């Protein structure tokens, strides 16, 4: 279920961002054609026709993006995948509610019921996954193997393969988003600077056949729109804080010696990871 939801979310995200990028490209291309000025009426009409065609294509693409609801599938898929992942780790490590005192059959039954509840919360998205969810066991042999391990072994696996792995992911994402934020901010600044420079050139040479400021203004607007869509700086800060929080939580694991202490520790760690995702979704919903 995690793999299906994760793949569906990634596919929807890729499609959404590619269509948005294509839409912005069509708008900029239309503005480029509109920047040319010819003395020939035929040339003017031809350019106007092509420019209108590009703008019309952009409009149709916008309507298509709206109708397909790629963004909603992206968010729903991420929510389902993260919910399943955190519950799987809690099941493997005998954390609440899948505590060590339950038999394997009881814990497995409770886990499967939890997955059913996750699917019921997002029926439309879960239905779009098809029947593939029934082709593989939701509780893998590896999950059962980890659950049967001793407390120190479960603790070590959770620390290395969940906490440290998630910290590294957050850290890499933070660095990547910082670099992307810097790139797109520079793109906006350069486009605005070129728009200003070309506007000054038009004051000096008003009869230029190309209205260059129009192109650079459209490019700046497209870059700003992309920057707002991706929200790189906010994500960089959010991922950085999440990595630091997990680092502080990881320091506590050395003192865990009882099943109850480990269960409480894992619950705190998973809540921290879930909190980051909840904040991410809230920011997206408010865009």
- pLDDT of the chain, 287 residues: tens digit per residue: 888 889 989 999 999 999 999 999 988 888 777 666 665 667 667 777 888 888 889 889 989 988 888 888 888 888 889 889 999 999 999 998 999 899 999 999 999 999 989 888 888 787 777 655 556 788 999 999 999 999 999 999 999 999 999 999 989 999 999 999 999 999 999 988 988 888 888 777 777 666 777 888 888 888 888 888 888 888 888 888 888 888 888 887 777 788 888 888 888 888 888 876 666 565 555 54
As beta bridge partners, residue 210 has 36
99 φ, ψ to 5°? Answer: -70, 165
Q: Which two tokens stand for residue 237?
A: 């800060």
Instruction: For residues 238 and 162, give the distance between their C-alpha atoms in angstroms, rounded to a whole number.
Output: 19
The alpha-helical segments, DSSP class H, found in 69-164 are: 70-92, 104-121, 123-128, 141-147, 151-158
Tracing tokens 């408010």 back to the chain, one arrives at 286
C-alpha closest to that of 191 among 24, 37, 18: 24
Note the pLDDT of residue 119: 86
Per the CB < 8 A criterion, the answer to whether 107 and 146 are in contact is no
Helix (H, G, I), strand (E, B) or coil at 138: coil
Q: What are phi and psi of 206, to 5 degrees?
A: -70, -15
User: Pick from 180, 182, 173, 176: which is nearest to 246 by CA?
Assistant: 173
Distance CA 215, CA 113 (A): 56
For residues 154 and 165, what is the distance between their CA atoms, to the nearest angstrom? 15
Q: How far apart are CA 256 and CA 56, in angstroms?
A: 63
Q: What pLDDT is recorded for position 283?
A: 55
Token pair for 76: 């729903």
Task: Using a cut of 0.85, tell me whether the model's pTM lies above it.
Answer: no
pLDDT confidence of residue 280: 59
């Amino acid at each position: 279920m995690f793999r299906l939801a994760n793949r569906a979310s990634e596919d929807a995200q890729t499609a959404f961002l590619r269509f948005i990028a294509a839409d912005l490209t069509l708008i900029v291309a239309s503005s480029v054609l509109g920047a040319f000025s010819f003395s020939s009426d035929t040339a003017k009409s031809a350019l106007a026709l092509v420019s209108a065609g590009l703008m019309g294509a952009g409009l149709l693409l916008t309507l298509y993006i709206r109708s397909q609801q790629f963004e909603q599938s992206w968010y729903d898929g991420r929510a389902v995948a993260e919910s399943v992942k955190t519950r799987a780790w809690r099941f493997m490590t005998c954390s609440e509610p899948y505590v060590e005192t339950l038999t394997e059959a009881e814990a497995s039954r409770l886990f499967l019921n939890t997955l059913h509840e996750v699917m019921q919360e997002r029926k439309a998205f879960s239905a779009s996954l098809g029947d593939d969810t029934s082709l593989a066991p939701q509780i893998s042999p590896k999950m059962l193997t980890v659950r049967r391990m001793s407390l120190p072994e479960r603790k070590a696996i959770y620390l290395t393969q969940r906490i440290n792995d998630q910290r590294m992911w957050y850290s890499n994402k933070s660095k990547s988003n910082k670099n992307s934020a810097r790139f797109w901010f520079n793109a906006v600044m350069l486009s605005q600077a070129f728009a200003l420079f070309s506007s000054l050139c038009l004051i000096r040479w008003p009869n230029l056949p190309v209205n260059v400021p129009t192109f650079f203004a459209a490019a700046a607007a497209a870059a700003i729109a992309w920057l707002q869509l991706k929200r790189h700086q906010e994500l960089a800060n959010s991922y950085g804080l999440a990595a630091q929080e997990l680092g502080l939580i990881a320091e506590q694991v050395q003192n865990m010696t009882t099943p109850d202490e480990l269960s409480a520790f894992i619950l705190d760690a998973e809540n921290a990871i879930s909190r980051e995702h909840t904040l991410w979704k809230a920011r997206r919903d408010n865009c």
